[in-house]
Chains A and B, each alone.
Chain A
Amino acid sequence: MKRAFLSLPGPVPVKVLIAIAIVIVALIVLNFVYEWMGNTFLDSGGGVG
């Protein structure tokens, strides 16, 4: 993890900003994946058709 952080470009403040942006994007993608999985396998909302 530390190695990955240090490999980010720019000085430390820029690295921090990039890391935060990556985490936010990853959480958004994860949220979409979880929603798709939930709707497909767990509970689609109960509609028919």
Chain B
Amino acid sequence: MSDVTRTAPAPVEPSGPSRWNPKGIVRGLGWTLIGVGLFLLGFVAHQLFITTWFAQQHNEQLAAEATAYFAEADVVEVEYGPLAPPPTVADPESPTTTLGPSAPPTLLVEESPPEGQPFAIIRIPSIRRLVDGWTVVEGVSRRDLRSGAGHMPDTPLPGQPGNAVISGHRTTYGAPFHELDELEPGDLIEVETAIGVHTYAVDETIIVKPTDVWVAEPRDGAWLTLTTCHPRFSSRQRMIVFAELVDGPNAEVITG
């Protein structure tokens, strides 16, 4: 008897059509591409149609809420003097600080709306989809901007001194600012609030980076700044429209 070590035969790799069949690979690749295509098609349909339908449905409801808010919001008259120091600053040398000229004019001021509250309607007669108006809600979070344009908190409300900033979608969710690039200097923008209708005239349009927050900084007089994505179908840049208050309940008091 000789010691013969028997080794088991090496397992044979399956070489049948189920493993490295080129047809199978092509078929798998084809189904993958079909899946990716359907995914992207769904994305386009979702962004262009579903979000717009959602926004339009909601905006009608928000417009009704904004109109109801006009009647409910507290509006008060305050003395206003553009050159007077802020009333909260204590000045020990002149304790009787007057706000503005000897007979100070009064400014209509409304309370700040809570986050998400529809509180204004913006109308731009020269832009077709904004002729009838689009509701403005307080806040610029994703949720706020789904159904309306959004007023940036910490900036003045429309019709007040300073720089009121309103942002809006350009491609999706109803795209209220889709045609903002068509605005030319002198075009009018109306913003209706609880105080009344404030009319602004377009001054200039610029393109900036999304991080250029200086566009929201305070300005002398009363300004409205509209911001939206640029170019269309991209959030790479921002289109900024500056407009100055020319008419409305507070226009004469602020602009003198």
Contacts and interface: CB of A to CB of B under 8 A. Distances in A.
B47 A42 contact: yes
B43 A37 contact: yes
Nearest to B46: A34
Contact of A45 (B47, B140, B212, B213): B140
A43 B43 contact: no
Contact of B42 (A34, A44, A45, A47): A34
A26 B190 CA distance: 43
B228 A46 contact: yes
Contact of A34 (B43, B165, B170): B43
A32 to B, nearest CB: 11
Main secondary structure of the interface of B (DSSP, over half): mixed
B51 A38 contact: yes
A22 B108 CA distance: 55
A19 interface: no
A42 B152 contact: no
A46 B211 contact: no
Best-buried of A34, A40, A44, A45 by chain B (most CB within 10 Å): A45
A49 B51 contact: no
A47 B150 contact: yes
Contacts of A34: 42-43, 46-47
Contacts of B213: 48-49
A43 B142 CA distance: 11
Contacts of A35: 142
A38 to B, nearest CB: 5
Nearest to A39: B142
B171 A43 contact: yes
A43 B238 contact: no
A41 B43 CA distance: 12
23 contacts: A31-B46, A34-B42, A34-B46, A39-B235, A42-B47, A42-B172, A42-B235, A43-B172, A43-B175, A43-B234, A44-B229, A45-B229, A46-B227, A46-B238, A46-B239, A47-B150, A47-B210, A48-B165, A48-B210, A48-B216, A49-B210, A49-B211, A49-B216
Interface of A: 30-31, 34-35, 37-49
Instruction: Please provide the 8 A-B residue pairs with the shortest distance between their CB atoms, ordered closest to farther.
Output: A46-B228, A45-B145, A43-B171, A44-B235, A46-B167, A34-B46, A47-B140, A47-B167
